[in-house]
Structure 1
Amino acid sequence: MEREEIICIYDEVLTGKRKQFPNEMFIGITGKQYLGYMTRYLIEEKLKIPIHEIPHKIKAETLWSHRLRPGAKAQGWKYFDLINNAYEGQFLPFDFHQVPQGYWQGEKGRHLAIEAMKYVVESKCKLPLDQIPLKVNHQFFKQHNLVGVFCLFEQSPYTAMDAVYPGVFKPWQFANVPMNCWKETKHVDETMDWLLFTQLHYKSYEEALRKIRKTHFFEYKLTGLLQVAFDYRMKNVKKWIVARLEKDNSTN
């Protein structure tokens, strides 16, 4: 059948003039073509939605309420498959507010999640590596329809980005540090050395012992470290520095 005939049948189904679609109309390659005609007709001509607005205005119930479920079911499709059939390669599942059910589940889902984050960071937002800890936060995942991905990685920007770029970042570089980070000696030691020598540019632990102030923890957004690891007490911070100094002296 030609496109005009398919659209005529679809209109008759929508208006109730025809109760259902002809048998086997949506089977095989021809059925995919017919569904493409109908999907584009619905979106562009009936609903008059510009193509670039489709991810924001089309949901599964939009398609199902306009009688496209039987065709999708015949092909074994979910709603995104129906859209992708009509607009092949123009959209990604996470462009939509409603990601297909189960899309992020299992090992395959985890791989898709990593690829999605990499695409958003590098292709969509074009973020340099050094900007990732500053820009990737809770709002970032919400803005780019990656809330499901965010949950997959314990709602931690660091954990999510570490999956995409293993070993490139440290937890404390992000505004939202993972829970229990400051209870691990390794993270405390690395962060303190980063603060003292990379950020404050001290030449030695002796200098750090003389100059470190509580305000430095606030300035570099490390209040969580000060609270959890040092109980908000500078005398505990200085005890840590003395211990590192003694350790250095014992190995020299």
Structure 2
Amino acid sequence: MQIKAITIEEIYQEILDGKRIRFPPNTWKLDKNNEMAKRVTRYLVTNILNWNEEEIKQNWNNALIAKYRLRGVLKHKYENSPYGMINDLYPNRFKEWEFKMTPLNFWTKKKPYNY
């Protein structure tokens, strides 16, 4: 008898389908270099939402991430930063200020002069 390994994307789809309640224990603690976190984020953006860059800028936020059951990833891997999550997947493709909401404490007296 051969046991088939299940991918993180398959687990995530089962969560979305209601077949699972959550990811297995310690999933995100064992995720070195955020590889699984990036994979589920990519799966959400490209397979579930099928978004382009403009749609990401307009709609990527905490509420959406929670709606699609990735609040644990956001908390444990990205310190509750939606920008950190999307920037990890697409490094330097987006600027913080391009989103509808910038990260907490993003704007300072010095930063506006840089943009």
Q: TM-score, normalised by structure 2?
A: 0.77
Task: Note the aligned Cα RMSD (angstroms).
Answer: 2.4
* Residue matched to 1:24: none
5+ residue gaps, structure 1? 1-28, 33-83, 192-252
Structure 1 counterpart of 2:82: 157
Is 1:92 the equivalent of 2:10?
Answer: yes
Q: Secondary structure at the match of 1:182?
A: coil
Q: CA deviation at 1:184?
A: 7.0
Tell me which residue corresponds to 1:132. Answer: 56
TM-score normalized by the length of structure 1: 0.38
Label 1:184 to 1:156 Cα distance change in 2 as closer, same or farther (>3 A). Answer: farther
> Which residue among 98, 103, 126 is the counterpart of 2:27?
103
Instruction: Please report how far the alpha carbon of residue 131 of structure 1 lies from its aligned counterpart in structure 2 after TM superposition.
Output: 1.3
The AA in structure 2 aligned to 1:179 is: L
Please list every run of at least 4 consecutive aligned residues from structure 1 whose deviation after the TM superposition is greater than 4 angstroms: none
Structure 1 partner of 2:93: 168
* Equivalent residue for 1:179, pick from 100, 104, 108: 104
Higher helix share: 1
Structure 2 letter corresponding to 1:164: L
**Residues in 2 aligned to 1:132 and 1:174: alpha-carbon distance in whole angstroms:** 8
The alignment covers a number of residue pairs equal to 107
Identity of matched residues, %: 22
> Bigger radius of gyration, 1 or 2?
1
Distance change in 2, residues 1:132/1:184 (3 Å):
farther
Equivalent AA in structure 2 for residue 161 of structure 1: I
What runs of 5+ residues in structure 2 fail to find an aligned partner? 16-20
Q: Check conservation: 1:113, 1:149, Cα contact below 8 A.
A: yes
Contact between 2:62 and 2:82, CA under 8 Å: does it hold in 1? yes
Deviations 1:153-183 (A, max 9, x none): 1212211111111111111122332122113
- Say which SS state the counterpart of residue 101 (structure 1) adopts: coil
What is residue 147 of structure 1 aligned with on the other side?
Answer: 71
